[in-house]
Amino acid sequence: MRSPLRPLALLVLPLLALTACGSGESEDTAAQTAPSAEAGAFPVSIQNKFGTAEIKAAPQRVVSVGLVEQDALLALGVTPVGTTEWFGEKPGALFPWAKEKLGDGPVPTVLSDKDGIQFEKIAALRPDLIIGLYSGITADDYKKLTAIAPTVAQPAGVPDYGVAWQDAARTVGKAVGKAGQADELVQAIEQRFAKVRADHPEFKDKPALMATPYEGYFVYGTQDPRSRLLTDFGFSLPAGLDKVIGDKFGGNISAERISVLDQQALVWFPTKGGTTKLQNDPLYKNLNVRKQGRDVFVEENYDDELYGATSFVSVLSLPIVLEQLVPKLAAAVDGDPATTA
Q: Are 140 and 115 in contact (CB under 8 A)?
A: no
- Looking at residue 155, the DSSP 8-state letter turns out to be P
**What radius of gyration, in Å, describes the C-alpha atoms of the chain?**
20
Residue 336, pLDDT score: 73
The alpha helices in the chain, defined as continuous H runs, are 15-19, 24-27, 69-75, 96-102, 119-124, 139-146, 165-175, 179-199, 225-233, 241-245, 275-279, 288-291, 305-312, 318-332
Q: Give the H or E element holding residue 293.
A: none
Residue 124, pLDDT score: 98
200-332 falls under which CATH superfamily?
Nitrogenase molybdenum iron protein domain (3.40.50.1980)
| Every domain of the chain and the residues it spans | 15-187, 200-332
Q: Report the length, in residues, of the chain.
A: 341
Instruction: Give 10-residue mean pLDDT values along the chain (341 residues).
Output: 36 35 41 71 98 97 98 98 97 97 95 96 98 98 98 95 97 98 98 98 97 92 94 94 80 91 97 93 96 96 95 98 98 80 69
Q: Are 97 and 316 in contact (CB under 8 A)?
A: yes
Q: Give the H or E element holding residue 154.
A: none
Task: Quote the CA–CA distance of 54 and 332 in Å, as a whole number.
Answer: 47
Give the residue from 322, 35, 50 showing the smallest Cα distance to 173. Answer: 35
From the CB of residue 155, how many other CB atoms can be counted at a distance below 10 Å? Answer: 17
Task: Quote the CA–CA distance of 225 and 210 in Å, as a whole number.
Answer: 10
- Given the candidates 3.40.50.1980, 3.20.20.70, 1.10.3720.10, 1.10.10.10, the CATH classification of the domain at 15-187 is 3.40.50.1980
Residue 9, pLDDT score: 30
pTM over 0.85: yes
Give the DSSP letter string of 35-95.
PPPPTT--SEEEEETTEEEEE-S--SSEEE-SSSHHHHHHHTT---SEEE--SS--GGG--
> 153 CB contacts (<8 Å, ≥6 apart)?
48, 49, 50, 51, 132, 133, 135, 137, 142, 145
The vertex-147 CA angle with 115 and 168, nearest 5°, equals: 70
Instruction: Note whether 15-187 and 200-332 share their fold.
Output: yes
Residue 4, pLDDT score: 57
**Sheet of 208-212, strand order:** 250-253, 217-220, 208-212, 265-268, 295-297
